[in-house]
Structure 1
Amino acid sequence: MSDLDLRIGTFRYDTTEALFDGSVTVDGARGTTMSTAATLPEIFERMARGDGVDVSEFGLTFLLRALDQGVPFVAIPAFPVRVFRHSCVFVNTDSGIAEPADLVGKTIGEFGVYGQDSGVWAKGILADEYGFRPERNRWVIGGLEHPAPPFTFTSHPHPDDLDITAAPDGRTLSAMLDAGEIDALFTANVPQPFLEGSPHVTRLFGDYEPVERDYYRRTGNFPIMHTVVARRELLETHPGLARAIYTAFCDAREAGARRYRQFRHLYQTPVMLPWVNALIEKNDRLFGEDWWPYGVSANWTALDTFLRYHHEQGLSARRWTVEEIIAPDLLDT
């Protein structure tokens, strides 16, 4: 493995910063080149097309779609992005949607593809908790802040009974929500009209934090959006590489967590957010000291839940198992 120059694609997060600044490296690789992009779909597309990266952050839904197409990807159980998703459902204030039951029969937007990672979680949670059924809705796929067609680097499976259309040319989902052209939006990012204080856009769950904390207490699910993937033949050609990559991502995440712990001594003065100490103490009581676990055992429930949702929503040809998608020599993590 010492002859390997490894190219890793990921966004620059506090969980990956140490990989970018070189304070954490992949043991045994001759060199590591970090690659990022302006948007996450660009990173995913590079991996999907085999363009300039060997290992990459990758959305869980895009991994499962690739596996259904026979692409020999395998997941390394590091999870740089995870977000509670009650907060990702936005509605037009004139749509008549005040609670989840009001979503029935409405037109809902989704960015890039039907079944984004955030959308899979939102639909699954709403189905489990409130009886939501996606086939009762109309779905519009497009760009969030810039007009864009559905993604071309991935497959687009969906149940035959779903009403799915592309957004009109030149229109964005954010603008359509603000104008009432769609009633709701399931989104990975906060729409700009909401950030600008538009009176026409609000969240379905206005006070979402206690709802999401209660969801975690009851289910143990901290929703995972992205994992890290490599091609199976790369890992088979270089024994020990999967473990080395996993360890590097763990070390980088720990470096970020350690900064937060150290900042507590200074009342988080290096961070421009008031009361961060109080938030960390609150999170410690809920999650314990490891708020952002990597590895299979600590994330089995969340992974298995996503795999179930993906199949139930007609996005997977079959019900994948955790053991099938994770690198075999990392199932003990």
Structure 2
Amino acid sequence: MKDLNLRIGTFRYDTTEALFDGSVTVDGVGGTTMSTAATLPEIFERMTCGDDVDVSEFGMTFLLRALDQGMPFVAIPVFPARVFRHSCVFVNTGSGITEPADLVGKTIGEFGIYGQDSGVWAKGILADEYGFRPERNRWVIGGLEHPAPPFTFTGHPHPDDLDITTAPEGRTLSAMLDDGEIDALFTANVPQPFLNGSPNITRLFTDYEPVERDYYRRTGNFPIMHTVIARRELLESRPGLARAIYTAFCAAKESGAERYRKFRRLYQTPVMLPWVNALIEKNDRLFGEDWWPYGTSANRTALETFLRYHHEQGLSARRWTVEEIVAPELLDT
């Protein structure tokens, strides 16, 4: 594999920083070129439509849509983005929505696509826990802070009985929520008017942290948004490459975790957040030593839950299995 200069595209997280600064490398290859982008959809689109990356961070829903279209992608069981999603549901304060049951009959926005990773988890959790049914709602797809059409680099499957439209030209979902043109928003990013203190927007679960911690205690799910993918032919033509990539991402994650451990002795003074040590101690009690596990075994429950949600929501032609989406040589991780 010494002839291979491996090109990897991912966001610059604390769990991938060591890959960018070169302190962690992929063993056995001739070199590694790291790249990122201003937004995550740009990273996904480069992998789908271009030829400038070999390995890429990729949204779980985009992977399953690609597989349904016959694209030759396979997952490395590395999960650089995972977020609890009770907190991603925002509502207009004049909509009459104060609890999940109030979502029935309302108009809900989603960024870029019906069934973005955050939306798949939000709908699935609300369905499991509160009986939410997406077909009872109207859905509007658009840009969050800038007007944008639905994504063009992926398919847009959805059940025929859903009422889905695009946002009016020149309008953003954040502004529509603030103005009451939509009642709720399922979003991967916090809408800017909320951050600016708009009195018109609040979260459905205002005190979301204890709700999300309770969800984790009961289900064991730390929701996975993104994985890392490669083309099957690349991995098949170079035995050992999949494991080398996996090992490098694990080492980069461990490097980020070690920084937290080191800074804990310094009361996290390199971070401008009060009481960070208290949060770390709280998370240690809930998650154990590894808050952010990689590998197939430790993530099987979360993966199977997402695969179920994706199929139940009519986004997959069939229910995929973990064994079908993960590189075969990494099923033992």
What amino acid is the match of 1:224? I
Residue aligning to 1:248: 248
Residue aligning to 1:135: 135
Q: Residue 222 of structure 2: SS of its match in structure 1?
A: coil
What amino acid is the match of 1:147? P
Q: Distance in 1 between matches of 2:165 and 2:112?
A: 11
2:306 is the counterpart of 1:276: no
Residue aligning to 2:83: 83
Q: Distance in 1 between matches of 2:192 and 2:95?
A: 19
The RMSD of aligned alpha carbons is 0.4
2:267 is the counterpart of 1:267: yes
Where in structure 2 are the equivalents of 1:47-126 lying within 5 Å?
47-126=47-126
What amino acid is the match of 1:304? E
Q: Residue 266 of structure 1: SS of its match in structure 2?
A: coil
2:265 is the counterpart of 1:295: no
Q: Deviations over 1:213-235 (max 9, x none)?
A: 00000000000000000000000
Q: Deviations over 1:267-288 (max 9, x none)?
A: 1111111100000000000000
Instruction: Give the superposition deviation at 1:50.
Output: 3.1
Q: Deviations over 1:298-332 (max 9, x none)?
A: 00000000000000000000000001000000000
What amino acid is the match of 1:137? N
Q: Distance in 2 between matches of 1:200 and 1:316?
A: 35
Residue aligning to 1:202: 202
Q: Distance in 1 between matches of 2:50 and 2:310?
A: 24
Residue aligning to 1:219: 219
Q: Distance in 2 between matches of 1:108 and 1:301?
A: 28
- The number of equivalent residue pairs is 333
Q: Distance in 1 between matches of 2:32 and 2:114?
A: 34
Where in structure 2 are the equivalents of 1:176-187 lying within 5 Å?
176-187=176-187
TM-score with structure 2 setting the length: 1.00
Instruction: Give the superposition deviation at 1:51.
Output: 3.0
Q: Distance in 2 between matches of 1:300 and 1:273?
A: 33
Q: Distance in 2 between matches of 1:157 and 1:75?
A: 21
Residue aligning to 2:315: 315
Q: Distance in 2 between matches of 1:52 and 1:145?
A: 28
Q: Distance in 1 between matches of 2:10 and 2:113?
A: 20
What amino acid is the match of 1:255? S
Residue aligning to 2:258: 258
Residue aligning to 1:31: 31
TM-score with structure 1 setting the length: 1.00
Q: Distance in 2 between matches of 1:106 and 1:176?
A: 14
What amino acid is the match of 1:111? F
Q: Residue 151 of structure 2: SS of its match in structure 1?
A: coil
Q: Residue 145 of structure 2: SS of its match in structure 1?
A: coil
Q: Residue 139 of structure 1: SS of its match in structure 2?
A: strand
Q: Residue 301 of structure 2: SS of its match in structure 1?
A: helix
Q: Distance in 2 between matches of 1:71 and 1:219?
A: 32
What amino acid is the match of 1:156? H
Residue aligning to 1:164: 164
Q: Distance in 1 between matches of 2:254 and 2:79?
A: 13
Q: Distance in 2 between matches of 1:25 and 1:274?
A: 34
Q: Distance in 2 between matches of 1:204 and 1:260?
A: 31
Residue aligning to 2:331: 331
Residue aligning to 2:3: 3
Residue aligning to 1:238: 238
Q: Distance in 2 between matches of 1:286 and 1:101?
A: 29
Q: Quick one: percent identity of the two aligned structures?
A: 89
Q: Residue 316 of structure 1: SS of its match in structure 2?
A: coil
Q: Residue 265 of structure 2: SS of its match in structure 1?
A: helix
